[in-house]
Amino acid sequence: NLILVPGFIDSHVHVLGGGGEGGFENRMPESAITDLTMYGITTAVGLLGTDGIAREMTSLIAKVKGLKAKGITAYAYTGSYQTPICTLTGNVTKDIMMVEEIIGIGEIAISDHRSSQPSFDEFVQLAAHTRLGGILSGKAGIVELHLGDGSRCLELLERAIAETEIPITQFLPTHINRNPRLFEKALEFAKKGGTLDFTGNEDADYWEKQCGEVRCSKGIQRMLEEGISSDLFTISSDAQGSIPLFSPEGKFLGTGMGKSSSLLKEIKECIAAETIPMEIALKAVTSNVARILCLNTKGHIKEGYDADLLLLTENMEIHTVIAMGNTMVFNGEPLVK
Catalytic residue IDs? 238
Q: Dihedral of the CA atoms 323, 325, 328, 330 (nearest 10)?
A: 120
- Alpha carbon distance 187, 218 (integer Å): 13
Q: Which residues contact 43 (CB under 8 A, 6 or more apart)?
A: 7, 8, 9, 10, 72, 73, 74, 75, 295, 298, 308
Nearest to 208 by CA among 248, 237, 177: 177
- Alpha carbon distance 153, 189 (integer Å): 11
- Alpha carbon distance 267, 282 (integer Å): 7
- Alpha carbon distance 155, 189 (integer Å): 11
Inter-residue contact 186 to 232 (CB < 8 Å): no
Query: Strand 318-323 relative to strand 326-330: parallel, antiparallel, unpaired?
Result: antiparallel
Compute the Cα dihedral for 174, 177, 179, 181 and give only its sign: positive
